[in-house]
Amino acid sequence: MNILLYGAGAVGLGLASCLLKNGERVDLVGRGDTVTALQQNGLQRTGLFGDFTAAPDVFGAFTALSELPKTNYDFLLVCTKSFDTRTAAEQIAAIPFLKNSSTPIVLCQNGWGNAEIFAEHFPKERIKNGRVITGFRRPEKHEVDITVHADAIHLGSLFDGDVSGLERLSAAITSGGIPCEVTPTISKDLWAKMLYNCMLNGLSTIHDVPYGVLGESPHTRELMENIAHEVYAVMKAAGYDTHWKSAEDYIDTFYKHQLPPTYSHEPSMLQDVRAGKRTEIDALNGAVVQLGQQHGIATPHNLTVTRMIQFMEKQADK
């Protein structure tokens, strides 16, 4: 297959490493310093699923979509931060051979609302979603280290029930090292990830602690549980559901099965604040707040976390 990845951060490099290991033809679009490092050193992967190196001459690395060869791609994977979603959609739509093709666009991003933004520019049947709950970090611009793996990557669609076309991509990622599955209920997976991220990422960042520490205090446990109840209320009001019937059911699973394996994990949000970068809070707790406003659901705990992270972002800019 011929696959384009827009976004060469940790997630993009992690997925690209799988596809390259499986022998797929891969083009990456990323920032200038990342592209230079990839062109000079190739792509290197370490961590949970073993080491792998792809030489610079076996894949393409570009700083702009306009530099791409005008070829037919089997899949286009978007691996940018959620705050770059609109820019990504606009830039891809501005390239005629990408805009006018039938290539599936798979959004491998955090948060909620990315698919709706892409639907403003592309037919809904082209837009697919990936739920990624594998932890990646970049020790160097051309390196990706897989640090945590909670479950298989899931591929599906929020708009189209036909997901059979994603089987080839799923098989390639799996063969390349990271388990991947196709599901007809991707919305349930995305909301499950929203619950987990909204409960942990903001509070972990505010308190500058790994995930597990939040579960040790009755004060932060109460905050996390209130966040979960608000997410459930908004999700239901917006017409979605997830794998647990109630917030209480999810919270029980969260403490017993989800939090312990990631006790020492620090979210990318905390790493972004430390580095003075923008976070994805608007697509996580902020998205819950926005949906709550649309459907008349109060979300004071999610709003407080959102405002506090936004304050931290502003302080980092000074």
193 is catalytic: yes
The residue annotated as part of the active site, out of 128, 141, 188, 193, is 193
Q: Are 76 and 93 in contact (CB under 8 A)?
A: no
CA within 13 Å, CB half, 228? 25
Measure the CA–CA gap between 107 and 129, rounded to whole angstroms. 5
The residue type of 294 is: Q
Q: What is the 3-state secondary structure (H, E, C) of the chain?
A: CEEEEECCCHHHHHHHHHHHHCCCEEEEECCHHHHHHHHHHCEEEEECCCCEEECHHHCEEECCHHHCCCCCCCEEEECCCHHHHHHHHHHHHCCHHHHCCCCCEEECCCCCCHHHHHCCCCCHHHEEEEECCEEEECCCCCEEEEEEECCCEEEECCCCCCCHHHHHHHHHHHHCCCCEEECCCHHHHHHHHHHHHHHHHHHHHHHCCCHHHHCCCHHHHHHHHHHHHHHHHHHHHCCCCCCCCCHHHHHHHHHHHHCHHHCCCCCHHHHHHHCCCCCCHHHCHHHHHHHHHHHCCCCHHHHHHHHHHHHHHHHHHC
Catalytic annotation, residues: 193
